[in-house]
Copies of this chain bind each other. A is one copy, B any other.
Amino acid sequence: MKNSFGNNIILTIFGESHGNSVGFVLDGIPAGISVNEENIKSLLDLRRPSGSISTARAENDEFTVHSGVFNGYTCGTPICVTIRNADARSKDYTEKERLARPSHADYTAHVKYRGYEDYRGGGHFSGRITSAIVAAGGILIPALNKKGIYIGTHLKSVAGVSDREFLDIEKDIKNLADARFAVLDISKKDEMEAKINEARANGDSVGGVLETAIVGLEAGVGEPWFDTLEGMISHAVFSVPAVKGIEFGAGFALCDMLGSQANDAITVTNGRTETKTNNSGGINGGISNGMPIIFRTAIKPTPTIAKEQETINYVNNENAVISASGRHDPCIAHRARIVLDCISALVVADALATRQGTDWLAL
């Protein structure tokens, strides 16, 4: 499948940065789930650019629910939502029409689509398309919360500045819910923002690591081959622009441990099975073990920068120099975190719908 993801709850997204609208169709959602447009708005608001650490493009993210909702509840049929592209200034991008931004998708899109690609603002490869994922999350996340499942992502590090670890995870997640800059140690916010602004001032950009936690997921969810929880999450997460790595639990650090250090001892306390450590990130054999799901995502620095870079004009195939002049983000990590929450919600809801039956989420 191309622009669709999921086995039983299936999200299809569409749209180009400077086209009419971006949007989604969410299929497989059972009838009877409350849909509150305010929830969609507030998640979209968390994704929206904020101040000097983000692009100057100001989208109000006005959206239309075309189908699938009746009297405030899902009616069991596909939900289509479109979000207008209102503040698309295509003239900013006339130069990019011919010059490939290094490490962006301009060149690969040109090859793949044989010159017919909508190159304006990155087209279908723009971070703008993630607003469709976030809008879908505005339906999925409240439904999962009602089932006691909570998902949250924080800025584990930005430009080398590190946030603290998750501690009381469910509480941490709830504290992150409304944060426009999602750090657990609020004292790190200024330091990170300073690094972002410094990069911006230099015509440059920075990256970061996002850490996501999912709590309240019962043991036994996921598949051994091939739809492991890790496989499904990573499949979806690598679609988010700028992601270049993912690790679960202790991740790459496990490679240098001994088995006796890496293994999570299992205990039963008052009938509840837990592990003493969580190096496995809540997943064994692709299946949830009842501990929090933990993963970290590598976000590279935004490729669009003002600094001069060597590149090519991909139309006439000649060497050139590019210096991006359009509106762009000096860091995308703080805006991407809500996208990770929403895409994780899709994977979790889908795996549960497969296991529990399509109606489970609504019951």
Contact = CB atoms under 8 A, between A and B. Distances in A.
Contacts of A4: 4, 10, 12, 27, 226
A309 interface: yes
Interface string A261-274: 11111111001010
A268 to B, nearest CB: 5
B67 A20 contact: yes
B220 A231 contact: no
A64 interface: yes
A164 interface: no
A122 B255 CA distance: 22
20 contacts: A1-B7, A2-B225, A3-B226, A16-B67, A16-B77, A31-B113, A74-B116, A82-B82, A107-B284, A108-B283, A108-B284, A108-B285, A199-B258, A205-B258, A241-B285, A244-B249, A245-B245, A245-B247, A252-B298, A263-B303
A236 interface: yes
Interface stretch (A51-59, A166-174, A179-187, A350-358): A350-358
Given A103-B262, A105-B287, A207-B257, A234 B238 contact: yes
A205 B258 CA distance: 6
A23 to B, nearest CB: 6
Contacts of A259: 199, 204-207, 301-305, 307
Contacts of A22: 66-67
A102 B266 CA distance: 6
Nearest to A6: B226
B223 A310 contact: no
Chain A, interface residues (CB within 8 Å), range: 35 or more
A284 B104 contact: yes
Given A105-B285, A107-B266, A220-B108, A299 B227 contact: no
Contacts of A107: 219, 266, 273, 284, 289
A39 interface: no
Given A23-B67, A102-B264, 18 more contacts: A1-B226, A8-B354, A14-B79, A15-B67, A31-B115, A82-B82, A109-B287, A112-B219, A205-B259, A206-B258, A206-B259, A207-B262, A226-B236, A231-B237, A235-B235, A255-B298, A259-B301, A267-B310
